[in-house]
Structure 1
Amino acid sequence: MLDKILQWDREAFVYLNSLGIEQYDLFWSTVTKFPPWIPLFILIISLFFIKFKKREALFMILTLLIMVIFVGTLTDLTKNVVARLRPNNDEEINTLIRILRSPSGFSFFSGHASSSFSVITLVVLFLRHRFKWVYLFYIWPFLFAMSRVYVGVHFPIDIIIGALVGVFSAWMFYKLYGLLILPYLKSSHHV
């Protein structure tokens, strides 16, 4: 069963990666990097301070940062335990694919997918009652994660599992925020 899934994953990757068109290489090579997305993070931080009291906004941002450290650590540990080669380093398929990036390290699961989906899911959970359009922020993790297939460094399952880990981590940190931080913030208002 696992062999069939991995075979499908490799075939799906080769197919999706082969859809790449040279005219879009610059776009996807830019989308896959972190700096172009900095304006999005500035907007998100601004929205926290616009819609919440300063102290609550700071605790939300702190929760986001702690979650990013957790997700990054979990991703790195999983990559080293599973030790799955990236497509660009897999000698069986790397001559069949378009490679725009050549990182070393392992593939499973995608840190781009886990980190971006965790951040945006937590942001959506925090802001969904204040802004109905906040779901549009999911454009970032979708593009960010899909760019990894385009540039030749992640299989589809790496992306799917990374996204699921990110969403679950965000939900878990949102619940922890509600249990541990929100009661503290509410009680400190009455002091």
Structure 2
Amino acid sequence: MDELISFDQSLFLELNSHHSPFWDTVMTLISNKYVWFPFYALLIGLFIYFYKRKGYLMVLSLAASVGLADFVSSGILKPFFGRLRPCHDQLINASVNAVDGCGGLYGFVSSHAANAFAVAVFVLLLLPKNQWIFKVLLLIWAMAISYSRIYLGVHYPGDITFGAAIGVGAAYLGMYFYQKISQKYTFWQR
């Protein structure tokens, strides 16, 4: 376990060490959850416009997936593991380039990664197979948000990896319930 933690720290320090004023601004924007509200509003609007009543169920299922990912990452795992964010860890914080502040004390797992992957994978599962370009863009979007957290100095790569896994799991769970409810109740099939 010590070797794994050491590798995670070394990889973090390497990834976090490459900075420029341009990328500092870009990564701060990418990481800002409020920047993405228009994107979320567009998704909600598209679901409802194209799928009518079923679109509302999609939105509720997506919201449940993100809520679950956020609760597990922030409400359960961060306090349970109590792993300090890199910028709070006294062993390495002198080498950390924390661009936009440090955030809360604990970082394992990344809620940004969990939530972004919950959104991306849930929508990816809804899209038809021939919409591969949108699927790729959704994954790039989730990875960019996740990477921005390392760049900004607030998460280790391990925090991101496990956060993304929680988001993927929450998305599949949300999709499972969406399919069960939409198949069982004809109200949601219109």
Work out the CA distance in 2 between the residues paired with 1:57 and 1:6: 43
Instruction: Give the superposition deviation at 1:43.
Output: 2.3
For the Cα contact (< 8 Å) 1:79–1:109, is it kept in 2?
A: yes
The Cα offsets for residues 119-165 of structure 1, whole Å up to 9 and x where unpaired, read as 11101111235744321122221111111001100000000111111
Match for residue 60 of structure 1 among 58, 61, 68: 58
Question: How large is the RMSD of aligned CA atoms in angstroms?
Answer: 1.8
The aligned residue for residue 167 of structure 1 is: 168
Work out the CA distance in 2 between the residues paired with 1:123 and 1:130: 14
* Amino acid of the structure 2 residue aligned with 1:116: A
> Structure 1 residues 118-127 or 108-117, which shifts more?
118-127
The aligned residue for residue 133 of structure 2 is: 133
Work out the CA distance in 1 between the residues paired with 2:185 and 2:36: 31
Cα distance change of structure 1 residues 102 and 187 upon mapping to structure 2, 3 Å threshold: closer
Q: How does 1:41-60 map to 2 (within 5 A)?
A: 41-52=40-51, 54-60=52-58
Q: How does 1:103-142 map to 2 (within 5 A)?
A: 103-129=103-129, 131-135=131-135, 136-142=137-143
Cα distance change of structure 1 residues 187 and 11 upon mapping to structure 2, 3 Å threshold: same
* Amino acid of the structure 2 residue aligned with 1:171: Y
> Structure 1 residues 81-90 or 26-35, which shifts more?
26-35
**3-state SS of paired residue (1:38):** helix
Work out the CA distance in 1 between the residues paired with 2:188 and 2:112: 37
Q: How many residues align?
A: 187
Q: Is the counterpart of residue 9 in structure 1 residue 37 in structure 2?
A: no
Instruction: Give the superposition deviation at 1:50.
Output: 3.4
Structure 1: runs of 5+ lacking an equivalent: none
* Amino acid of the structure 1 residue aligned with 2:39: L
Work out the CA distance in 2 between the residues paired with 1:172 and 1:68: 11
Q: Percent identity?
A: 29
Cα distance change of structure 1 residues 99 and 58 upon mapping to structure 2, 3 Å threshold: same
**3-state SS of paired residue (2:40):** helix
Cα distance change of structure 1 residues 103 and 189 upon mapping to structure 2, 3 Å threshold: closer
Query: TM-score, normalized by length of structure 1?
Result: 0.90
Instruction: Give the superposition deviation at 1:187.
Output: 6.4
Instruction: Give the superposition deviation at 1:36.
Output: 1.4
Cα distance change of structure 1 residues 150 and 188 upon mapping to structure 2, 3 Å threshold: closer
**3-state SS of paired residue (2:87):** helix
Instruction: Give the superposition deviation at 1:103.
Output: 1.0
Q: Is the counterpart of residue 147 in structure 1 residue 148 in structure 2?
A: yes
For the Cα contact (< 8 Å) 1:56–1:185, is it kept in 2?
A: no
Q: How does 1:86-97 map to 2 (within 5 A)?
A: 86-97=85-96
* Amino acid of the structure 2 residue aligned with 1:5: L
The Cα offsets for residues 25-67 of structure 1, whole Å up to 9 and x where unpaired, read as 1111111101211222122123212331x11000110111122
The aligned residue for residue 184 of structure 1 is: 184
Structure 2: runs of 5+ lacking an equivalent: none
